[in-house]
């Protein structure tokens, strides 16, 4: 492709913002997503996304639903426009369908929005997802939600983020009251108060009434005690807080904080505007050729998620590709870095909520879905022009383990083939006992659903009925330095050693406490919760 494309690419990159929401179930991710789409004009009435959530909550129906519809229901990217920006919201599966895909999605994101319930503060799933963002130095924007309900003190929440996540905070706005007495937020940059008007559930975009701090009308509009409290706390903030530093935000070291109430729409648009102004646009990515800017003229991208259709009659698989550089065009032919083969990218899909539309072109920061007849694996690079490869997507620490047994020896070959393919596809990690007598593979997953998917697909695609034998471990750590380092530390208690698919030692612990014990006893032992893909 030629240089003439440059202005078009620059323009496309400048208006693109891509992000994923990280949160714990029930913090309000679906609600916030819906409200963002409402402002983006992608939906006209709240409720459209929610019905999808209600369906998803019933996990037992999940496979049945996949079968009935013949399409994947876990949508992957929601694209909408606002204020001249083209926004890609990468959907991270939550709830019971929490799996490695949730982590992998963050490999395709340029920014993260950390959504926190004001009454609960930081919760386990948010912390785990934060660790992945931290590893990638993603800019993190924090939305503290549910201010219309009683919650924890705002300053205490900021302190928790600083202390526990090691992130500097900068409150972009600050709440006035909470729960029944929630009266609005003070926007520090605009130096004005946005008044909260209680409306029922906010199915339409919210009204936004603003008034300057110091305006005499505020005496009547706000409860006096809250007004004084606001002034006092703003003074504290000015004194103790860091200055806003966009470079630190972009480096993932400082998080801008926004307060609001997604359910009533309050603070959502204020957040969206500020986010768009400060978020990172698609940036250079590290590759075997060095850092490649998004305006590099040839099309390149990588696979971050594969999704298999559970319907045996429509056994298609979709590969989700993050466009990194150049322009994607329907039916283009690309090279596949891992196999060296040439692949025609036909039938591309743009994914929006429940439907799939066909897609003609895409730019850096966008995600495309391609039908994948077994060509792609997680982390694969595709490119035009000069050969290059992006860094693979790492293995994330699994938390659930079970031997997968094949009770029928005549199915040995199919069993082996199925396991190998599902592993390559990234449906689950596979580990093995170091004991030569125990040949059954150990499935290692971050969510229960991954086990169910493996058993279902082993039966339906490979014709093998399998049995699970759960193991009571919940923490896995890769040993830095491999077998040699492990031998040096000598005998370890309260842990077992297994090997991953690349024959690297992995220690399994029953709980975090045992892990800490081993670490305390062996200060030289370095253990990692995330490992690069092996080769
Ligand atoms: P999730 O996707 O992160 O799991 O959260 P979701 O949006 O489903 O929200 C979880 C619950 O929290 C929902 O209540 C939702 O209405 C509520 N919620 C979300 N944002 C706010 C907010 O700003 N204020 C208040 N008060 N509640 C909020 P639910 O009872 O499960 O559902 P519903 O009966 O409201 O539909």
Share of the chain above pLDDT 70, in %: 85
Centroid of ligand 1 to alpha carbon of 31 (angstroms): 6
99 is in an annotated binding site: no
The reported pLDDT for the residue numbered 418 is: 94
pLDDT, tens digit (0-9, with 9 covering 90-100), for 314-350: 666 788 899 999 999 988 999 999 999 999 887 666 5
pLDDT mean over 227-249: 90
CA of 261 to the centre of ligand 1 (A): 10
Position 355 confidence tier, pLDDT thresholds 50, 70, 90 = very low
| Structure-model confidence comparison of residues 349 and 33, the more confident one | 33
For residue 242, pLDDT beyond 80: yes
Q: Is 444 in the pocket of ligand 1 (CB under 6 A)?
A: no
Which residue's CA is the closest to the ligand 1 atom numbered 35? 263
CB distance 149 to ligand 1 below 6 Å: yes
Of 87-101, 131-145, 147-161, give the lowest mean pLDDT range: 87-101
Query: Rounded CA gap, 271 and 173, in Å?
Result: 9
CA of 18 to the centre of ligand 1 (A): 24
Rounded to two decimals, the pTM is: 0.89
- The pLDDT value recorded for residue 34 is 86
The pLDDT of residue 4 is 79
Least confident stretch, 94-103, 364-373, 408-417, 508-517: 94-103
Q: Please identify, by atom number, the ligand 1 atom nearest to the C-alpha of residue 261.
A: 23
How crowded is the C-beta side of 531, counted as CA atoms within 13 Å? 26
The reply to whether ligand 1 has any atom less than 6 angstroms from the CB of 35 is no
**What is the pLDDT at residue 438?**
86
By the 10 Å C-beta count (0-12 exposed, 13-18 middle, 19+ buried), 208 is classed as middle
Q: How far apart are CA 470 and CA 400, in angstroms?
A: 8
As a whole number of angstroms, the distance between CA 229 and CA 321 comes to: 49
Q: Ligand 1 in contact with 25 (CB < 6 A)?
A: yes
Rg, the chain, Cα only: 25
- Can you tell me the distance from the alpha carbon of 195 to that of 208, in angstroms, rounded to the nearest whole number? 7
Residue 95 known to bind ligand: yes
Q: What is the pLDDT of residue 372?
A: 73
b/e sequence 49-68, b meaning 16+ C-beta within 10 Å: beebeeebeeeeebbeebee
Distance (angstroms) between ligand 1 centre and the Cα of 263 equals: 7
pLDDT given for residue 55 in this prediction = 44
Beta strands at 442-445 and 400-405: parallel, antiparallel or unpaired: antiparallel
Query: Is 147 annotated to bind ligand?
Result: yes
Does the CB atom of residue 23 touch ligand 1 within 6 A?
Answer: yes
Predicted ipTM of the assembly: 0.98
Q: Which of 98, 185, 259, 263 to mutate to test the pocket of ligand 1 (most atoms within 8 A of CB)?
A: 263
pLDDT of residue 354: 39
DSSP 114-182: EEEETTTBS-HHHHHHHHHHHHTT--EEEEEE-TTS----HHHHHHHHHHHH--EEEESEEEES-GGG-
Which residues touch 195 (CB under 8 Å, ≥6 apart)? 183, 184, 209, 210, 211, 221
479 — phi, psi (to 5°)?
-90, 120
Residue 42 has pLDDT above 90, yes or no: no
For 20, residues 6+ apart whose C-beta sits below 8 A from its C-beta are 89, 90, 91, 92, 105, 106, 108, 109, 111, 112, 113
**Is 470 within any annotated ligand binding site?**
no
* Position in ligand 1 atom list of the atom nearest CA 50: 8
Give the integer Cα–Cα distance in Å for 148 and 263.
9
Q: What pLDDT is stored for residue 138 in this prediction?
A: 97
Which pLDDT band, with edges at 50, 70 and 90, does 45 fall under?
A: low
Q: Share the mean pLDDT of the chain.
A: 87
50 pLDDT above the threshold of 70: no
Is the C-beta atom of 531 inside 6 A of ligand 1?
A: no
Q: Taking 50 as the threshold, does the pLDDT of residue 41 lie above it?
A: yes
Our CA dihedral for 89, 39, 41, 116, rounded to 10 degrees, sits at 30
Cβ–Cβ under 8 Å, residues 464 and 405: no
Distance 57 CA to ligand 1 centre (A): 13
**Closest ligand 1 atom, CA of 34?**
7
370 phi, psi to nearest 5 deg? -125, 140
Return the closest-CA partner of residue 371 out of 72, 64, 103, 2. 72
Cα(464) to centroid(ligand 1), Å: 41
Q: Is 124 annotated as a binding residue?
A: no
Query: How many Å apart are CA 515 and CA 528, to the nearest integer?
Result: 11
Q: How far is the CA of 179 from the centre of ligand 1 (A)?
A: 15
Between the alpha carbon of residue 478 and those of residues 99, 257, 401, 481, 509, the distances in Å are: 19, 34, 15, 9, 12
pLDDT at residue 204, rounded to an integer? 54
* pLDDT single digits (tens) 158-197: 999 999 999 999 999 999 999 999 999 999 998 899 988 7
Share of the chain above pLDDT 90, in %: 58
Q: Are 237 and 186 spatial neighbours (Cβ–Cβ below 8 Å)? A: no
Please report which residue ranges of 197-335 form alpha helices under DSSP H. 218-221, 224-240, 246-250, 268-278
Ligand 1 centroid, distance to 318 Cα (angstroms): 30
CA atoms of 265 and 254, how far apart (whole Å): 25
Q: How far apart are CA 309 and CA 71, in angstroms?
A: 7
The label of the residue with tokens 């490999």 reads 107
What is the biggest distance separating any 2 CA atoms in the chain, rounded to whole angstroms?
Answer: 84
- The end-to-end CA distance of the chain, in Å, is 32
Give mean pLDDT, residues 190-212.
72
What does the pLDDT read at residue 101?
84
Instruction: Compare 244 and 373 and report the one with higher pLDDT.
Output: 244
Ligand 1 atom showing the smallest separation from residue 94 Cα: 4
The string over 262-281, giving b where at least 16 C-beta atoms fall within 10 Å of a residue's C-beta and e elsewhere, is bbbbbbbbbbbebbbebbbb
Question: CB count, 10 Å around CB of 329?
Answer: 14
Per-residue pLDDT, 307: 79
- Judge whether 145 is annotated as a binding position: yes
Average pLDDT in the 370-381 region? 84
Residue 149 Cα: closest atom of ligand 1: 26
Question: Residue 97: its pLDDT value, please?
Answer: 67
For residue 26 and ligand 1, the question of a CB distance below 6 A is answered with: yes
Give the residue, by CA position, lying nearest to ligand 1 atom 21.
263
């Amino acid at each position: 492709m030629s240089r003439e494309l440059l202005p078009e690419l620059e323009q496309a990159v400048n208006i693109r913002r891509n992000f994923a929401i990280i949160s714990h179930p029930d913090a309000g991710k679906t609600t916030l997503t819906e409200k963002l789409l409402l402002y983006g004009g992608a939906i006209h009435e709240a409720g459209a996304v929610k019905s999808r959530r209600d369906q998803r909550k019933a996990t037992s129906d999940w496979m049945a639903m996949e079968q009935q519809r013949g399409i994947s229901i876990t949508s992957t990217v929601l694209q909408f426009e606002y204020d001249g920006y083209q926004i890609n919201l990468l959907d991270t599966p939550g709830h019971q369908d929490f799996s490695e895909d949730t982590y992998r999605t963050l490999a395709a994101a340029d920014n993260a929005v950390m959504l926190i319930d004001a009454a609960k503060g930081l919760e386990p799933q948010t912390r785990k997802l934060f660790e992945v963002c931290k590893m990638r130095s993603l800019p993190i924007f924090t939305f503290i939600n549910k201010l219309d309900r009683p919650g924890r003190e705002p300053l205490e929440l900021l302190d928790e983020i600083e202390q526990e996540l090691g992130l500097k905070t900068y409150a972009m706005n600050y709440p006035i009251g909470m729960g029944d007495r929630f009266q609005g937020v003070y926007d520090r940059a605009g130096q004005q108060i946005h008044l909260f008007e209680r409306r029922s559930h906010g199915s339409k975009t919210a009204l936004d009434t603003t008034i300057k701090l110091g305006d005499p009308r505020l005496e009547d509009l706000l409860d006096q005690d809250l007004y004084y409290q606001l002034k006092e706390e703003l003074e504290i903030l000015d004194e103790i807080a860091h200055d806003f530093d966009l470079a630190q935000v972009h480096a993932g070291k400082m998080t801008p904080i926004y307060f609001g109430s997604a359910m009533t729409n309050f603070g959502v648009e204020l957040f969206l505007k500020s986010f768009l102004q400060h978020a990172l646009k698609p940036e250079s990515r590290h590759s075997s050729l060095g850092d490649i800017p998004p305006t590099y003229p040839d099309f390149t991208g990588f696979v971050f998620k594969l999704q298999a259709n559970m319907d045996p009659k429509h056994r298609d698989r979709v590969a989700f590709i993050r466009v990194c550089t150049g322009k994607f065009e329907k039916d283009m032919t690309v090279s596949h870095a891992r196999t060296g083969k040439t692949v025609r990218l036909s039938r591309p899909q743009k994914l929006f909520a429940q439907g799939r539309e066909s897609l003609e072109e895409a730019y850096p920061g966008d995600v495309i879905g391609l039908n994948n007849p077994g060509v792609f694996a997680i982390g694969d690079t595709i490119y035009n022009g000069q050969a290059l490869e992006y860094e693979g997507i790492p293995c994330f620490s699994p938390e659930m383990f079970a031997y997968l047994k094949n009770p029928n020896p005549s199915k040995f070959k199919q069993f082996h083939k199925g396991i190998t393919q599902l592993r390559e596809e990234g449906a689950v990690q596979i580990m093995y006992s170091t004991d030569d007598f125990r040949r059954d593979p150990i499935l290692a997953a971050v969510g229960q659903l991954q086990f169910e998917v493996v058993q279902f697909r082993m039966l339906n695609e490979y014709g093998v009925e399998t049995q699970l034998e759960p193991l009571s471990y919940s923490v896995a750590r890769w040993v830095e330095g491999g077998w040699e380092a492990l031998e040096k530390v000598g005998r370890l208690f309260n842990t077992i050693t297994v090997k991953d698919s690349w024959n690297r030692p992995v220690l399994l612990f029953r709980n975090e406490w045992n892990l800490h014990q081993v670490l305390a006893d062996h200060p030289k032992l370095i253990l990692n919760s995330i490992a690069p893909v092996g080769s």
